[in-house]
Amino acid sequence: MTETVDPVIAVRGLTKKFEGRAVVSDLDLTVNRGQIYGFLGPNGSGKTTTIRMLCGLLTPDGGSGTCLGHDIRTEADAIKRQVGYMTQKFGLYEDLSIRENLTFVARVYGLDRVHERVEKALERLGLAERARQLAGKLSGGWKQRLALAACILHEPQLLLLDEPTAGVDPKARRDFWDQIHDLAHQGLTVLVSTHYMDEAERCHEILYIAYGKLLARGSVPEVIAGAHLSAWSVAPVAHDGEREQAEVATLSKALQQRPGVDMVAPFGALLHVCGRDAAALDAATAPERADPRYRWHRVEPSLEDVFIDLMGRAKDNFGDNFRDHVS
């Protein structure tokens, strides 16, 4: 008999309104233990609001469900005790060392086995050799790693990370994500919001929200396949720098006006051309594909292509002034 595993998060119809507008609207979400689940979407799309509802910091206006087996409406305090929540801003003390920061956090929250917990977190996040270094002297990547260590001191079952690598260099981001995967392999469940496509591709599943509405969810291959996009890559045959740039610019402007072409994006001397209707896209690009000045290749659409397409079709019903107050 197969053992049934209860999901870490299971919510239905989750809704939150500010100033009468739905920042999160009728969201369904299920996350299983040990998974890394990615939230993506434009600024003001409802990612942070969703995370805050799940960890008990905000009460939903609609919907129901559980987080770590506790009701998100009535058992917020119990949820908070089992969740590690990390924002993109570094919130620890820069004039304290790494070890002093972690010790301070452990004592503030009244944790037992303070020394044991601190040493375990230092080892777990690769901070032991830097334990005496002042937090203010750390690079952005090491600060984020310290913040993550503080989040796991109380041995949570769920990590909620709100754009944790914003402003961090690519090497530090990759190292940080290696740590996230190590924690997930140890059974920790992770929900993370990000704007980086390479980070989204490292998640087991992703969820794309735009202006309060869920537009896509699933594994990366499932989301790409579900978009039903077709794509071509095109480059000029000429390798004269100025002439090459001029031809790419001219071709881009011409293609953007064609019915059947939904997106044109430059990548150096290349253009990436996408459409939702494969036959219409092929018909729209046929004249240029027959032009010997250009070299065309059919390619697979990328995750970025899918998200740009989703964002282009989403209705922004918030406005800049309203969006400044929500995330």
Residue 172: strand, helix, or coil = helix
- Encoding tokens for residue 249? 């610019």
Residue 282: what pLDDT?
A: 95
Walk me through the domains of the chain, giving residue ranges and CATH numbers. Answer: 9-224 (3.40.50.300), 230-300 (3.30.70.920)
Whether residue 40 contacts residue 224, with contact meaning beta carbons closer than 8 Å, is answered with no
Q: Which H/E stretch holds residue 219?
A: none
Confidence of residue 166 (pLDDT cuts 50, 70, 90): confident
Confidence of residue 123 (pLDDT cuts 50, 70, 90): very high
How buried is residue 279: exposed, middle or buried, by Cβ count under 10 Å (0-12/13-18/19+)?
A: exposed
Section 162-181 average pLDDT: 86
Sign (positive or negative) of CA dihedral 253, 256, 259, 260: positive
275-301 pLDDT, tens digit per residue, is: 999 999 999 999 989 988 889 999 999
310-322 pLDDT, tens digit per residue, is: 887 766 555 554 4
What amino acid is encoded at 256 in this protein? Q
CA distance 141 to 54: 26
Residue 322: what pLDDT?
A: 45
Residue 327: what pLDDT?
A: 52
Residue 315: what pLDDT?
A: 63
Enter the DSSP assignment of 92. S
Confidence of residue 5 (pLDDT cuts 50, 70, 90): low
Residue 3: what pLDDT?
A: 43
Residue 176 C-beta-side C-alpha neighbours within 13 Å: 26
Task: Give the CA radius of gyration of the chain.
Answer: 23
Whether 11 has a pLDDT exceeding 50, the answer reads yes
80-116 pLDDT, tens digit per residue, is: 889 999 887 777 899 999 999 999 999 998 999 999 9
Residue 133: what pLDDT?
A: 95
DSSP lists the bridge partners of residue 216 as: 208
Least confident range from 15-19, 153-157, 245-249: namely: 245-249
pTM listed for this prediction: 0.82
Q: What is each CA distance from 142 to 97, 179, 284, in whole angstroms? A: 12, 12, 49
Sign (positive or negative) of CA dihedral 301, 212, 13, 49: positive
Residue 2: what pLDDT?
A: 41
CA distance 95 to 141: 18
Residue 325: what pLDDT?
A: 47
Whether residue 54 contacts residue 66, with contact meaning beta carbons closer than 8 Å, is answered with no
Sign (positive or negative) of CA dihedral 316, 318, 322, 324: negative
Residue 280: what pLDDT?
A: 95
Residue 250: what pLDDT?
A: 85
| Interacting residues of 161 by C-beta distance below 8 A, sequence separation 6+ | 86, 148, 180, 190, 191, 192, 193
Confidence of residue 240 (pLDDT cuts 50, 70, 90): low
What percentage of the chain exceeds 90 in pLDDT?
50
CA distance 187 to 220: 22
